[in-house]
Amino acid sequence: MKALTSLLLPVILLTGCSSSPTISPGGVNTPPPDINAWLKPRSEKPDSLSETRWKMLTDAGKTLGFRGGKAQRSWELIQALNARESTLNALYDFRPLISPEGWLPPVIDEAQDVAHITPDQIRTSSRVWTIIRPERFVSNPPGWRDWLLRGLSTTATPGTEGSVVPEDSVQRKVWETALRQGWQEGRQNADLTLEANQKTLTRDYRKTPRNTPFVLPEPEPFENNIIIDAIFTCNLCNTSSRL
């Protein structure tokens, strides 16, 4: 499963992907910029524009472009995900994890051989469980869409920045340059959003216990983690270890 998910996401991210190179200092391991980088030089404020007007056009263009670019890229990614629906359904099937009463187990992270040292105390434990997400009741089994589609909105409704429009050719050039830059940044943000969602989905699915060997008692807070305390008697050495 890990190998499949590591191969699936790059394929999805490459769908409809267009590069936006930036001019960076040269180096042995850094390739020179292509023609697209030179065709879009960094814009500077024209002499005929006031600082305030230039900033208004730049901010409005970037904001509009960011929203539009992210909405477009989100739509492309959602289409790519839907095209792989059967594969994703097989990879992330939460139905077997739900109890007959409709409870979805907690998402638990495990650490082993943990030590907590203070000036007057040393605490060690062979295992520490951190409850990332508590157990919850679900009326319907969750699916991969509940994770992967978070933050991928396909609508881009302009706000107040939509009222800032260029009044002449000089202002339009500034506005268009900012909009194109914001558009690429929005598309990149959609890719990063999907990547983060995929990591969260994989973590939650893999760290949800299938067959819990014991019932989790009331948790105790401990240094931003939740420690599950249980006493096990060692038959060989007749001692107790605190988990």
57 in the same domain as 8: yes
Q: Domain range holding 179?
A: 2-24+33-98+141-211
- Which of 48-52, 94-98, 126-130, 235-239 bottoms out in mean pLDDT, i.e. has the lowest? 235-239
Convert 126-164 to b/e letters by CB count within 10 Å (16 or more is b): eebbbbeeeeeeeeeebbbbbbbbeebbbebeeeebeeb
Of the pLDDT bands very low, low, confident and very high (cuts 50, 70, 90), residue 122 is confident
Of the pLDDT bands very low, low, confident and very high (cuts 50, 70, 90), residue 115 is confident
Nearest to 52 by CA among 164, 176, 169, 177: 164
Structure token digits, residue 92: 């992330």
Structure token digits, residue 221: 């807070």
63 in the same domain as 130: no
Structure token digits, residue 238: 């007749």
91 in the same domain as 46: yes
Nearest to 226 by CA among 107, 117, 122, 97: 107
200 in the same domain as 181: yes
114 in the same domain as 90: no
CA atoms 95, 100, 101, 107: torsion sign: negative
Specify the DSSP class assigned to residue 4: H
230 in the same domain as 123: yes
User: Total structural domains in the chain?
Assistant: 2
158 in the same domain as 93: yes
Instruction: Answer whether residue 103 is part of any domain.
Output: no
Nearest to 149 by CA among 80, 240, 48, 212: 80
Of the pLDDT bands very low, low, confident and very high (cuts 50, 70, 90), residue 211 is low
Nearest to 79 by CA among 202, 168, 167, 190: 190
122 in the same domain as 87: no
Read off the pLDDT of residues 140-189 as tens digits, 9 standing for 90 and up: 999 999 999 999 999 888 777 777 788 888 888 888 999 999 999 999 99
Q: For residue 238, give Cα distances in angstroms to 91, 214, 230, 233, 235.
A: 44, 21, 16, 6, 5
165 in the same domain as 89: yes
pTM of the model: 0.65
Of the pLDDT bands very low, low, confident and very high (cuts 50, 70, 90), residue 223 is very low
158 in the same domain as 130: no
199 in the same domain as 162: yes
Q: Is the pLDDT of residue 39 over 60?
A: no
127 in the same domain as 19: no
